[in-house]
Structure 1
């Protein structure tokens, strides 16, 4: 009999003014205890309601990990490729890259951006970007359940996105009072972040409401487990993140992840010296439209 998963932690991320000014509300969905969230470092829910054309954002570097962006509303991106609502991007910063996120018009936007740790053996790989537009996202619609799968394998779907760390990312909608069961690897660290409505989740039917995060128990067994979910009276929509822990330590400082303080110092030096190339200069083989 498959292991039945249950919710072991629930929290409600608070909103704070973000770096783009008072019209930017940022919620830290993951952050602060990497030992519990491995392989996930940070997950931010950024909501912007920009009412003027003053540019905000700009170019900035990353290295040593992957940024994983799911755009829920609005538009964003660079000259080479613009994300629209429902689009997905995985940027492997690896050895180091600079990218630009500038918004210079009146706009509403909501972005979920995740930082995923890279295994030490892959920490300094050549940077690459994988873009998965909404119209190419593997989708299942069955029995009042809709699953859009952006990464990994779930419910008979497989995403074309390639991973250094095995992760599942899915945007899931369930109609009112409908119950469904998901099969997930028992040894994947898993959370649900509720975007709309509510749901009773797991073996003990823990109640997750909008803007709440529920973390599941984690097993060391390399087998499939079952997660039962029953939508509330208004139905539910949530994003599921599940990833296999690396079990490796890391150091985080600003926009960089490394294995030691020396790594961080080297990355800052290289950035100041202009040695990190902009994402737009990547060869076509490293800029992949799926």
Structure 2
């Protein structure tokens, strides 16, 4: 571990959120961990879905063409393969350990479909809000293969930095305004990982497998742990079988949130415009 880094007042767990089992797309079964009711509390993050199943019938229909405007989607794959296509001409496939980052901006139509007929599908999709001045920017897309995700390693620790920075390692993506930190973290039994965070940044953790100790509590797969906005950062320690987990944090925008399904803007007027633009075929 980096001996120069020692957090003196790590964050505690404010509460655990079990999430809501639901279906999306053409019937894909998932658990919505970050729901509409938590958007203010976890600003700038709008939604977090976990899809994890060995049953092909739970995911095989995928997510056919659907629109988005006003935010970014980040898909982190644990197992399985998905293909993205969109109306702005982007296409790519994400596999185990890979990431897809899409900035919807002023709007596009895209699909996310499984590229497997059987086997396990496991991953997360996170919605990251865009500041008002960027909501109508041009759409953007990037596929990040597993081997392209920057890593920081220490004894018993492997931190794959999807976004933001940790221990001097810059992530695959950085955003100036929301400053998202997304770390796919693997810990050996007893291994300790520290991450400084500004107090105002909202943060949460989800365990993929194994268990960790965080703030004096044991955290296991299933719930999302919302971290209190007190202290100088996050400290997690791998449990008896080690762990894999997702650590997410970001700087809140503090702007109005108006959402209608796949459109997230700052006012109802802008939502009406988004719906009309979609119906008239004016998205990218």
TM-score range, shorter chain: 0.7 to 0.9
Matches within 5 A, 1:94-133: 94-103=105-114, 105-107=116-118, 108-133=120-145
Q: Which residue of 2 aligns with 1:229?
A: 236
Unpaired runs of 5+ residues, structure 1, are 278-290
TM, length-normalised to structure 1: 0.85
Q: Give the distance between the partners of 1:94 and 1:162, measured in 2 at CA.
A: 16
Secondary structure at the counterpart of residue 218 of structure 1: coil
Q: Which residue of 2 aligns with 1:160?
A: 172
- Pick from 240, 246, 260: which aligns with 2:253? 246
Residues 149-190 of structure 1 show CA distances to partners (whole Å, capped at 9, x for unaligned) of 000001221013132521000111111123332222332111
Query: Contact 1:130 / 1:161 at 8 angstroms: preserved in 2?
Result: no
Q: Which residue of 2 aligns with 1:40?
A: 45
Q: Which residue of 1 aligns with 2:92?
A: 81
TM, length-normalised to structure 2: 0.87
Matches within 5 A, 1:154-193: 154-163=166-175, 164-193=177-206
Unpaired runs of 5+ residues, structure 2, are 1-6, 86-90
Q: Which residue of 1 aligns with 2:229?
A: 218
Q: Give the distance between the partners of 1:84 and 1:208, measured in 2 at CA.
A: 27
Secondary structure at the counterpart of residue 270 of structure 1: helix
Specify whether residues 53 and 97 from structure 1 end up closer, same or farther in structure 2 by C-alpha distance, changes over 3 A only. closer
Q: Give the distance between the partners of 1:234 and 1:3, measured in 2 at CA.
A: 26
Specify whether residues 53 and 67 from structure 1 end up closer, same or farther in structure 2 by C-alpha distance, changes over 3 A only. closer
Q: Does 1:138 align with 2:150?
A: yes
Displacement of 1:138:
0.9
Residues 1-59 of structure 1 show CA distances to partners (whole Å, capped at 9, x for unaligned) of 854311111122243344433xx321111112211110111001123532599754311
Specify whether residues 209 and 124 from structure 1 end up closer, same or farther in structure 2 by C-alpha distance, changes over 3 A only. same
Q: Give the distance between the partners of 1:159 and 1:267, measured in 2 at CA.
A: 32
Residues 125-169 of structure 1 show CA distances to partners (whole Å, capped at 9, x for unaligned) of 111112221111111221101100000001221013132521000
- Pick from 7, 28, 31: which aligns with 1:27? 31
Secondary structure at the counterpart of residue 166 of structure 1: coil
Displacement of 1:192:
0.5
How many residue pairs match? The answer is 269
- Runs of 4+ with >6 A deviation: none
Q: Give the distance between the partners of 2:248 and 2:58, measured in 1 at CA.
A: 34
